[in-house]
């Protein structure tokens, strides 16, 4: 059986305020084309369909359109809700939609109710485990306490019990949205540690032939049967070196797995540049990044004037600007508190003027204003101290 594994669409999300609507639509077009061209038998979407619990109308329209297209192909599709989704909203009409071959698994109580598929080698049971927030689902699994590992472990026990009652040779596939130990996170994933320790051991998924994971945005293989597809688009500059793909998984008659990556179309390359401003604006080695989405870290000892405006003349898609001055005599590595420790207030103020105006010493008038200001503050403080309490 051939399965197309994807996750973390985050429909409605932007990239540093740049709209990704067209890029997400292009990805969904690509997904439908891959289903047709690769003759996928089923599609698995492992959570975070939307970027937020109350998605915008444009995001809902994208989801509605792809549901109709997948249903029109007659290819069974299984969705689970992720930690960004509203499970109740995503699961509205699940029973009715399921009749069209689109299976929305958003209810923790239905973890052990599989979508039953079959090929020439026999049955395949696909179990959808939505994101399980420990504080909300402990009681449903009969647990008094415990975090993510406990609730996901309880859900998988139910899966294994159901699987044991099915005909011998039934192959099992699980969709789950979780942070599995050994996975590599990115900056764009929302922390799920609120309900306890975030990660769960890979052994939780023992007993199944393939676990289609969602939540982490980088495509990765934790074991041959345990894989993250990653997000189809980059949602932070921490993903600059990630290759955005889906998994095309072939599940053999004995349950063994062969998988290959299918690239997803990207709206624009990412680049993280670090250098002095003048070098970035003139050096030819940066020419290949002129049409990329760019994050720039400036290392100038003194902050240049209008850096973003100047950068965008060469890199019009500069989206993020950071400062990390190189260590110099005027920009030492010590913290600010350490540098001013033991110095008089007036000396600290003079140093601040020099810092914000490199190369320009405070003139006589400015020093006089500073002294007058400090003396006025001291006089006011002294008068207040002399008042009866």
> For residue range 107-132, what is the model confidence (pLDDT) as tens digits?
999 999 999 999 999 999 999 999 99
Report residue 88's pLDDT band, with 50, 70 and 90 as the boundaries.
very high
| DSSP for residue 388 | -
Tokens of 4: 């197309």
What does pLDDT average to over the chain? 90
Angle at 242 between CA 241 and CA 246, to 5 degrees: 165
Question: In the prediction, which pLDDT does 276 show?
Answer: 96
Rounded to whole angstroms, how far apart are CA atoms 215 and 199?
Answer: 11
Q: pLDDT: is 286 or 142 the higher one?
A: 286
Confidence check: pLDDT of 325 > 70:
yes
Question: In the prediction, which pLDDT does 289 show?
Answer: 98
**Residues 323-339, mean pLDDT to the nearest whole number:** 65
Question: In the prediction, which pLDDT does 194 show?
Answer: 41
Rounded to whole angstroms, how far apart are CA atoms 296 and 276?
Answer: 10
**Residues 196-209, mean pLDDT to the nearest whole number:** 86
Q: Which domains does the chain have, with CATH numbers?
A: 2-263 (3.60.21.10), 273-384 (no CATH)
116 has which bridge partners? Answer: 125
- According to DSSP, the β-strands at 77-80 and 102-105 are parallel
Question: In the prediction, which pLDDT does 256 show?
Answer: 96
| Helix axes of 364-386 and 345-356: crossing angle, nearest 10 degrees | 140
CA dihedral 167, 169, 175, 181 (to 10 degrees): 120
Q: pLDDT: is 68 or 185 the higher one?
A: 68
| DSSP for residue 379 | H
- According to DSSP, the β-strands at 171-177 and 210-214 are parallel
| Helix axes of 21-37 and 57-73: crossing angle, nearest 10 degrees | 10
Q: pLDDT: is 352 or 99 the higher one?
A: 99
Rounded to whole angstroms, how far apart are CA atoms 321 and 319?
Answer: 7
Question: In the prediction, which pLDDT does 386 show?
Answer: 55
Rounded to whole angstroms, how far apart are CA atoms 144 and 73?
Answer: 45
pLDDT tens column, 257-287: 999 999 999 999 999 999 999 999 999 999 9
Residues 6+ apart with CB under 8 A from 137: 108, 151
**Residues 5-29, mean pLDDT to the nearest whole number:** 97
**Residues 229-237, mean pLDDT to the nearest whole number:** 97
The gap from C-alpha 270 to its chain's centroid, in whole angstroms, comes to 15
């Amino acid at each position: 059986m051939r399965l197309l594994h994807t996750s973390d669409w985050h429909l409605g999300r932007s990239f540093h305020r740049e709209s990704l609507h067209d890029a997400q639509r292009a990805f969904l077009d690509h997904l439908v084309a891959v289903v047709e061209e690769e003759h996928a038998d089923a599609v698995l979407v492992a959570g975070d369909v939307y970027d937020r619990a109350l998605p915008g109308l444009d995001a809902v329209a994208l989801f509605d359109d792809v549901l109709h297209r997948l249903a029109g192909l007659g290819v069974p599709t299984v969705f689970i809700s992720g930690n960004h989704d509203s499970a109740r909203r995503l699961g509205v009409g699940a029973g009715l939609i399921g009749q069209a071959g689109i299976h929305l698994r958003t209810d923790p109580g239905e973890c052990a109710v599989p979508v039953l598929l079959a090929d020439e080698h026999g049955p395949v049971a696909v179990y959808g485990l939505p994101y399980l927030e420990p504080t909300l689902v402990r009681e449903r699994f009969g647990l008094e306490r415990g975090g993510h590992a406990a609730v996901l472990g309880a859900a998988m026990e139910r899966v294994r019990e159901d699987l044991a009652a099915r005909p011998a040779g039934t192959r099992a596939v699980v969709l789950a949205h979780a942070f599995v130990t050994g996975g590599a996170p990115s900056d764009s994933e929302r922390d799920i540690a609120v309900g306890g320790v975030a990660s769960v051991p890979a052994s939780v998924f023992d007993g199944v032939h393939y676990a289609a994971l969602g939540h982490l945005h980088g495509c990765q293989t934790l074991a041959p049967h345990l894989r993250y597809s990653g997000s189809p688009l980059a949602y932070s500059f921490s993903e600059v070196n990630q290759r955005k793909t889906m998994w095309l998984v072939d599940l053999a008659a004995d349950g063994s797995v062969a998988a290959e990556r299918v690239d997803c179309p990207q709206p624009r390359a990412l680049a993280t540049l670090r250098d002095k401003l003048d070098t970035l604006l003139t050096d030819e080695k940066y020419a290949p990044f002129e049409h990329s989405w760019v994050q720039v870290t400036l290392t100038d000892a003194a902050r240049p004037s209008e850096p973003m405006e100047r950068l965008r003349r060469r890199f019009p898609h500069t989206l993020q600007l950071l400062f990390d001055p190189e260590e110099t005599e005027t920009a030492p590595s010590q913290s600010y508190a350490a540098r001013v420790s033991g110095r008089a207030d007036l000396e600290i103020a003079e140093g601040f003027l020099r810092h914000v105006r490199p190369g320009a010493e405070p003139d006589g008038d400015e020093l006089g204003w500073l002294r007058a200001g400090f003396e006025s503050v001291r006089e006011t403080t002294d008068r207040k101290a002399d008042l009866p309490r």
